[in-house]
């Protein structure tokens, strides 16, 4: 994310050649996609964890667990 912000700053300064601007923009697109993928993965993990927790909580409260002596 820090590298992406630095690239945006460089582009906003306007002192890059066209070729440098295109290369910088291309790198920024790549980094942006990587960041989005990381966010999507994290969001999916959170959903899995919260869905599993919610299912476990609702199952345990909905069904009593029988006691079986040893």
Give the pLDDT confidence of 45-60 residue by residue, as tens digits: 999 888 876 666 565 5
**28 vs 38: CA distance, rounded Å:** 15
Task: Identify the helix (H) or strand (E) that includes residue 47.
Answer: helix 18-62
- Percentage of the chain beyond pLDDT 70 is 81
Q: What is the model's pTM?
A: 0.65
Burial class (CB in 10 A: 0-12, 13-18, 19+), 19: exposed
Structure-block tokens of residue 19: 């070729």
């Amino acid at each position: 994310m820090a590298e992406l912000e630095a690239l945006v700053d460089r582009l906003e300064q306007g002192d890059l050649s066209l070729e440098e601007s295109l290369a910088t923009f291309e790198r920024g697109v790549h980094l942006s996609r990587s960041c989005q993928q990381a966010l999507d993965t994290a969001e999916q993990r959170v959903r899995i964890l919260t869905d599993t927790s919610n299912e476990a909580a609702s199952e345990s409260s909905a069904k009593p667990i029988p006691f079986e002596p040893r």
